[in-house]
């Protein structure tokens, strides 16, 4: 088994995987096969890139690569707690993170290429059902025009909701 469950003070339950090998060999392949949608997919690809660079340990002896990863990570969750973590950077480095600027000499073309060249998976019926599963009336609340748009643009022909 990978990861573990834990309960938070606000009575929510979280599942966390922190082992690098499990993230690279189980979690990343799972989400490459079962893709996230919208901005979450872009964030996932950035997370994947960060993990892959960390696995090479290139950041260990190159401060610019480390700073590059921090810049990328700081924009994965803009509402997160990154602000307290940048206090260890010098003022110039902090400005790079705040302004989402990569340090000079660091090539992140592999990341930008992976984002722009990713072939997104088609939506499948199970995914559409999952969107509306919490309340079976949710799909009925979507306008007929939007229902037709979903049907015509995202589902394979012949599949009816």
Q: How many CA atoms lie within 13 A of 1 on its CB side?
A: 5
Task: Pick the closest to residue 53 from 36, 68, 75, 32 (CA basis).
Answer: 68
Angle at 88 (CA atoms; ends 83, 92), nearest 5 degrees: 85
Domain ranges of the chain: 1-34, 36-117, 125-154
pLDDT by residue for the chain (161 residues), tens only, comes to 788 888 888 878 888 898 999 999 999 998 888 888 777 888 899 999 999 999 999 999 999 999 999 889 887 765 566 666 677 788 888 888 888 889 999 999 998 888 888 877 776 666 666 655 555 555 555 667 766 776 676 666 666 65
Tokens (6 digits) for 136: 């079976």
């Amino acid at each position: 088994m990978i990861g573990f469950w834990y309960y938070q003070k606000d009575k929510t339950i979280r599942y966390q995987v922190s082992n690098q090998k499990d993230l690279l060999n189980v979690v990343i392949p799972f989400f490459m096969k079962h893709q996230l949608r919208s901005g979450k997919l872009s964030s996932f690809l950035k997370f994947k890139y960060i993990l892959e660079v960390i696995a090479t340990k290139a950041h260990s002896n190159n401060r610019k690569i480390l700073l590059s990863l921090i810049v990328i990570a700081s924009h994965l969750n803009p509402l997160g707690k990154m602000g307290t973590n940048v206090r260890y950077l010098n003022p110039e480095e902090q400005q790079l993170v705040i302004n989402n600027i990569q340090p000079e000499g660091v090539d992140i073309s592999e990341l930008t290429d992976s984002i722009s060249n990713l072939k997104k998976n088609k939506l499948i019926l199970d995914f559409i059902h999952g969107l509306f599963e919490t309340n079976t009336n949710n799909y009925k609340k979507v306008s007929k025009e939007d229902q037709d748009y979903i049907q015509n643009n995202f589902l394979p022909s012949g599949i009816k909701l």
